[in-house]
Amino acid sequence: MSDSTRHHDVVALERLQKFALEHKLLEKPVFGILEKPRVGRRDRIPTTAETETILAQASPEFRLIYSAVRCQTGRPLPGDDCRCGSGQPRHHAQGAQDGP
C-alpha cells in the first residue's frame, strides 16, 4: 500500500472517530494519534518531447481528456492549446461556478 493511500486512510479514520464522538456514537476514543506518512510528490513532469510521444500513440479520447485536464491544472506545457475561454464555466476562489 502506498504512503498516500495510508495517509488518506488515517485521515478518514480520524474523521470517522471524531464524527462518532461528536454524535455520541462512541463514549471515548478507540485509538489515539495515528502516524500519517508523508504523501509523495511528483519529482518531474514529462518533457514536451515525452508528452508528444505519448499523445502520438494515444487514442483520440485520451488526447481530448488529457487536453482538458491540462487546461484546468493551471500549469499548461509549452505548446498546449488551452483556449478555455468564452462559454466555459469560470471557477471562483470559493469553488462556485458561473451559470446553472
Domain co-membership, 20 together with 30? yes
Query: What integer pLDDT is reported at residue 69 of this predicted model?
Result: 80
Domain span holding position 10: 1-41
pTM for the whole structure = 0.44
Place of cell 500500500: 1
Is the Cβ–Cβ distance between 47 and 22 less than 8 Å?
Answer: no
* Percent of the chain's residues with pLDDT above 70: 71
pLDDT bracket for residue 42 (50, 70, 90): low
Asked if residue 71 is part of any domain, the answer here is yes
pLDDT digits (tens, 9 = 90+) for 45-54: 778 888 889 8
Query: What integer pLDDT is reported at residue 94 of this predicted model?
Result: 46
Name the most confidently modeled range: 1-5, 58-62, 72-76, 80-84: 58-62
Asked if residue 96 is part of any domain, the answer here is no
Q: What are phi and psi of 97, to 5 degrees?
A: -120, 155
The dihedral formed by the CA atoms of 55, 61, 64 and 68, expressed in degrees to the nearest 10: -110
Number of domains in the chain: 2
Q: 3-state DSSP call for residue 97?
A: strand
Asked if residue 84 is part of any domain, the answer here is no
